[in-house]
Amino acid sequence: MTRNRFAIPVVVAAGLVYLYAAPGSVWAQSSSSASVQHKNIASAGAQPKKTSGPEDDFAGLKYTDEQKAEIEKIRQDTKSRKDTVEKDAKLTADQKDAMLVGYNRLEYGRIYGVLTPEQKKQVSHKIHTRRAADQSAANKTPHNQIDIR
């Protein structure tokens, strides 16, 4: 019981540090680009749904049996932690969402750590391609503008 009380805040803090340090993070950008990011968030309802996400970055990789076992262990551990968070009545919905996002990021990072250097190159290429496509789509999406005449 005491370990869980200590582990949850540590995981939340680690997740927040990871979110802050992540490249492309809203907090890691300059204040001028943060205001631009805020405008994009406001019009997010008009944007089309993404067709790919971080979970697709590992798709198509050929894993060894050891990698498969380690990845399954990581996913089971993450699922267990997520279930605990979802059942915790002391947390608000925002806290739960933040912790779940943090767990997803931690899971992604741990799985990335299991990959071989060649697999990491493939995943990095997929990430680069996805981000370029997302950026291109964001630039093409018209923002909701009010025409006052």
pLDDT per residue as tens digits for the range 32-41: 444 444 444 4
pLDDT tens for each residue of 86-144: 999 999 999 999 999 999 999 999 999 999 999 999 999 998 998 898 888 888 766 66
pTM above 0.75, yes or no: no
Is 120 among the domain residues?
yes
Q: What is the DSSP string of 101-139?
A: HHHHHHHHHHHHHHS-HHHHHHHHHHHHHHHHHHHHHHH
Q: Any idea how long the chain is?
A: 149
Q: What is the total count of domains within the chain? A: 1
**How far is the C-alpha of 8 from the C-alpha of 26, rounded, in Å?**
24
In a domain, 130, yes or no: yes
Q: At what angle do helices 65-87 and 2-21 cross, to 10 degrees?
A: 110
Structural domain contains residue 6: yes
Q: Is residue 110 part of a domain?
A: yes
Query: Which range of residues forms the domain containing residue 89?
Result: 1-22+65-139
Q: Which of 49, 109, 32 is nearest to 78 (CA)?
A: 109
Angle at 21 between CA 81 and CA 134, to 5 degrees: 90
